Amino acid sequence: MRRKFSTLLLSLFFVFSFSTSVFAANADLPNISGKSAIVIDASTGEIIYAKDIDASPMYPASTTKLLTALLLAENKKPTDKLTYTQNAYNQPEYSLYNIIGRSKLRVNDTMTAEDVMKALLLFSANDSAYMIADNLAGSPAEFANMMNDKIQKLGLKNTHFVTPNGLDNNIDNHYTSAYDLGIITKEAFKNPWVKKVMGTQKDKIEVSSGAIAYVENRNKLLGQKIDTAFADKIGINLDQVPASNAVAIGGKTGYTAKAGRCLTAVYDKDGRILIGVVLKSIYDAADTYVFNDMAKIINWSYAAKKTPLYKADTELKTIALKYKPLIFFGPEKEVNVPVTLKEDATYYENEVNKAEIKTEFQLSDNIKASKLSKNTSIGKLVLKERDATKTYDLYPTLSSKDVMKGNILLYAGGILGIAIAAALILAIVALITKGARRRGRNRRRY
């Protein structure tokens, strides 16, 4: 009886363990308030999480400043001086004058580009964006042209920027999408200067007048680890998706009445970098929704498992090879060679990848039936997603030996034919030799 009970417990343990692992691997998508969101693997470009990522127009608010920062980094050095302009002075809150004071910040004062970048990305100062626009392009309108040229170079189809700071009052043509903003964030993070500043918690800035202020990053997630306590606090189902322990190392906040609460974030877990975007989330008195949205989709994305598009050892394609079994002569034949993989070809299954993933077979130009080996690749399977490409080796399921076996009767007949021909030749040689000897004897006789 005890043995039966132990066996039952062991069976239940295995069933429960298997069910839990499958449930975690295929966990339901996290419930978020944001209308549009995405998570991208910064290294591979793979889209892991997707929620209406191409919905547009979505309004970016101050997350626009990531592109402004990138253009500053590409056109100036941190030690360069930027002038405080009238256009900057005219900007509404939040601006540098909120922390420095109107009387201590005047038109034609200067700041280093490094301090302007800090004001832009940490405090999200609206006037600092216009300092950059005027100093780089001469006017906000010309800077908008610079922004849209960069957007075009990045291949973004659902983005058009008008202002350097993202303010959108009475402006309808300043817009983006979650996908496009994810690409902008990725490009900004690739720049060492922007990366350093967006990951700074607090720092000092100084104006040529001598005024000093301290700016603090308004990204509440910066430096925060998604550990068990944090995940439990914001409502992540830890039975479904374990705490990732990923740490926020950068990003940018944004808000306007039109845009709602916006956030881009960069996370690191053991060197694996993920980039998230949440657009048009809720902005309430506690201001927690967009940050909780981000933590949920990032945590989910680190736990997400890929789905096989093609399983290992599945015959994907058949190629026809012409060859001559007897190599230099004889009839030409054709053999059909099934092609397969030795590993699963996988992808993240989401609304975008399911609709867009493409398969391409790239076979070697000179495949010979006489040189086939089951362990030698004869080409590549290429999986193409929107911004990600992965290749897998393709292998034949037949070897040259298998091809030879298929021609065993032909080879046997060939060998028999050669043997008969050799015997005939030997017989003819023997007859000729015998005739020559007879003629030789006849000559001696006479």
Known binding-site residues for substrate equal 252
How far is residue 352's CA from residue 384's CA, in Å, rounded to a whole number?
A: 12
Helices and strands counted in the chain (H then E): 14, 16
How far is residue 261's CA from residue 34's CA, in Å, rounded to a whole number?
A: 8
How far is residue 112's CA from residue 128's CA, in Å, rounded to a whole number?
A: 11
Annotated catalytic residue, options 36, 62, 128, 177: 62
Active-site residue, 301 included = no
**Parallel, antiparallel or unpaired: strands 260-269 and 272-281:** antiparallel
Residue stretches of the annotated binding site: 252
Look up tokens 């030997």; give the residue. 426
Kindly state the greatest CA–CA separation across the chain.
Answer: 144
Give the DSSP letter of residue 109.
-
How far is residue 203's CA from residue 216's CA, in Å, rounded to a whole number?
A: 7
Annotated catalytic residue, options 33, 36, 56, 65: 65
Measured CA to CA in angstroms, residue 241 lies from 159, 327, 414 at distances of: 33, 60, 66
How far is residue 409's CA from residue 429's CA, in Å, rounded to a whole number?
A: 30
Annotated catalytic residue, options 36, 124, 177, 281: 124
Active-site residue, 103 included = no
If we measure between CA atoms, which residue out of 275, 279, 295, 290 comes closest to residue 39? 275
E strand or H helix that includes residue 339: strand 333-340
Look up tokens 């069933």; give the residue. 15
Measured CA to CA in angstroms, residue 151 lies from 46, 67, 164, 405 at distances of: 20, 9, 13, 60
Let me know: does 165 contact 130? Beta carbons within 8 Å: yes
Active-site residue, 4 included = no
What's the CA dihedral at 378, 380, 381, 385 to 10 degrees? Answer: 180
Catalytic residue numbers, as ranges: 62, 65, 124
